[in-house]
Amino acid sequence: MTTPLIVTRDVPPRASFALEQAGVHPLLARLLAARGVRAADELDDGLQHLLPPQGLRGAAEAGVLLADAVAAGRRICIVADYDCDGATACAVAIRGLALLGAARDRLGYVVPDRALHGYGLTPAIVDLALQQRPDLLVTVDNGIASVAGVAHARACGLQVLVTDHHLPALEAGAAVLPAADVIVNPNQPGCGFASKALAGVGVMFYVLLAARAELRARGAFDERHQPRLDALLDLVALGTVADVVKLDANNRRLVAQGLKRIRAGRLQPGVAALFAAARREPARASAFDFGFALGPRINAAGRLADMTLGIECLLTDDASRAAALAAELDGINRERREVEAGMRDVAESTLADLPAAGAPPALALYDEGFHEGVVGIVAGRVKDRLHRPTFVFARGADGRLKGSGRSIAGFHLRDALDLMAKREPGLLLRFGGHAMAAGATIEESRFAAFAAAFERLAAEWLDPATLQRTLRTDGPLDHQWFNPETVALLDAQVWGQGFEAPTFCDEVQVLQQRLVGERHLKLRLKMAGGALRDAIWFGHADPLPARARLAYRLSLDEWNGQARVQMVVEAATGD
Question: pLDDT tens across 66-112, in order?
Answer: 999 999 999 999 999 999 999 999 999 999 999 999 999 999 999 99
Region 213-227 average pLDDT:
95
Of the chain, the percentage scoring pLDDT greater than 70 comes to: 99
> Residue 114: its pLDDT value, please?
79
**pLDDT per residue as tens digits for the range 385-394:** 899 999 999 9
Within this chain, do residues 128 and 148 fall inside the same structural domain, yes or no?
yes
pLDDT of residue 320: 98
Closest CA to 207 of 143, 259, 290, 256: 143
Residue 338 maps to a domain = no
pTM of the model: 0.93
- Please state which of the ranges 149-153, 387-391, 571-575 shows the lowest mean pLDDT: 571-575
Residue 551: inside a domain, yes or no? yes
Pair 410, 517 in one domain: no
- pLDDT over 60 at 406, yes or no: yes
In total, how many domains does the chain have? 3
The tens digit of pLDDT for each residue in 257-301 reads: 999 999 999 999 999 999 999 999 999 999 999 999 999 999 999
Which distant-in-sequence residues (6+ apart) come within 8 Å of 215 by Cβ?
67, 70, 71, 100, 101, 221
Does 476 share its domain with 443?
Answer: no
The pLDDT mean for the chain works out to 95
CATH of the domain at 246: 3.90.1640.30
Give the pLDDT score at 574. 82
Assess whether pLDDT exceeds 80 at residue 172: no
Give whole-number Cα distances, 560 to 29, 275, 488, 557, in Å.
34, 22, 19, 10
pLDDT at position 421 is 95
566 and 526 in one domain? yes
User: Which position has the higher pLDDT, 567 or 349?
Assistant: 567
Judgement on whether residues 309 and 226 belong to the same structural domain of the protein: yes
| pLDDT number for residue 235 | 98
Burial class, 460, CB count within 10 angstroms (exposed 0-12 / middle 13-18 / buried 19+):
exposed
CATH of the domain at 26: 2.40.50.460
| 137 shares a domain with 181 | yes
Q: Which of 344, 314, 310, 311 is nearest to 330 (CA)?
A: 310
Going by C-alpha positions, the residue among 442, 454, 347 that lies closest to residue 396 is 442
**Is residue 95 in some structural domain?**
yes
Predicted confidence band of residue 415 (pLDDT cuts 50, 70, 90): very high
Same domain? 506 vs 461: no
The residue segments making up the domain with residue 373 are 354-467
Distant-in-sequence, close-in-space partners of 221: CB < 8 Å, separation ≥ 6: 215, 227
